[in-house]
Each structure stands twice: as structure tokens, then as C-alpha cells.
Amino acid sequence: MRKGTIVLHVIVAVFVLISLGFTYTKKVVVVDEAYVVNEPLKYTVSATGGDITEDTVMPPFLGRSFNGFKEALAFKESGGDYSVVNQFGYMGKYQFGKSTLKLIGIKNTNEFLNDAELQEKAFVANLERNKWVLRNYIKRYAGSVYNGIKVTESGMLAAAHLAGPGAVKKYLLSGGVERFEDGNGVPVTYYMRKFAGYDTSYIVPNKKARI
């Protein structure tokens, strides 16, 4: 056998041995279908290059659907964090107070904070209760404009979540003059404007809504 042929065979053998020393593993990712969103996601940041604030960073865009409503409200309340407790003792993704939780049948706040599904059920139950309280006001005032803000069902329900349905009633009965503010200085008018125009028809008024 020629010397050149021997060298070539040696090189090939070495290459094969080196190649066998490496393995390729294909990573398989399993997607839980329960977390797949079939709507486009969109994040908005400041186009001016200024500081990023709550109003320049938005949650995933889910349109004006009910899911869009609850996720936008949750983002405003807690950044979507189920475990948050603020300086006033309001808890969870939607920032519930103890008195509101008792109204819908929840007494164990530790269980509430550690149960995401329970928090979601509480949010819906509270909306159902508030929609029942405001049912006549929704019929009477939806479409009206106060202080440049169009009154909508979703805006009223969001404001009721912030300050209670009584504060929404007073605002509407006063013609937009009486504007309640929460402990952080956020007025009902802010929620009326920010959460206007969402589809909350999914929520059925229920005087006795409880978990």
C-alpha cells in the first residue's frame, strides 16, 4: 500500500473517532395547550425614548374581549402578580380587600393568595355582583359623556372594582362632579376612561354572587 494512501486512511479514521465523541440531542418543547393564546400579542413601549411607565408599558394586547378587559385591569392593579399585597392590605392579581372577599364568600386570605384559580373566580363573582348593583345605571347612563369621558359598561365595572359601585353611582348622579379617589389618589374617572369599551357582556348580573 502506498504511503499516501496509508496517511489518508489514518486521517479518515481519526475524523470518524472524533465525530463519534460528540452526540446531537434535539430538544423537544412540550406546549401546554391551556396557556396558548390564539390572539395576537403586542407589547407597547415608549417611542420617545423616555422613562418607561405604567402607561407606556402595556400587557399583551388581547383586543376588547373580556380576557382583554381582565388582563388589562390586572396589569394596572398588580402587574398581573397573584402574590402581591400592597401597603393598604389589598391582595392578589386584582387587589381585593378583605371586606370585598367576605362579601363573595372568601374568608381565608392565605388560601386566596396562594390559589390563582380562586382569584380568577373571585374577580368574576365580584363583577357579577357589581353589575347587578349597577344594572339600572348601566341602562340609564351608558353612552353619556362626562368630563370628556364616555360612560360604558366596562368602564363602570372597572371603576366599581376600584372604588365600589356606590362611588360610581355618586359620580353619575352628580353629573360627573363627585369623583372619588382611592388611597393612591386614583379617581374613578381614570378607570372609567382607561377601561372603556371592552366587551363585558360575558358577566351576568347576580345579586348573590359568591364563591
pLDDT per position as a tens digit, 117-175 = 999 999 999 999 999 999 999 999 999 999 999 999 999 999 999 999 999 999 999 99
Percent of the chain as helix, strand, coil, to the nearest 5: 45, 5, 50
**Count of C-beta atoms within a 10 Å radius of residue 57:** 13
119 lies in a domain?
Answer: yes
Domain range enclosing 139: 63-194
Q: Which pLDDT score is estimated for 61?
A: 64
As for how many domains the chain has, the answer is 1
Count Cβ neighbours within 10 Å for each residue of 170-189 and write b for 16 or more, e otherwise.
Answer: bbbeeebeebbebeeebbbb
How much is the pTM? 0.72
CATH number, domain with residue 118: 1.10.530.10
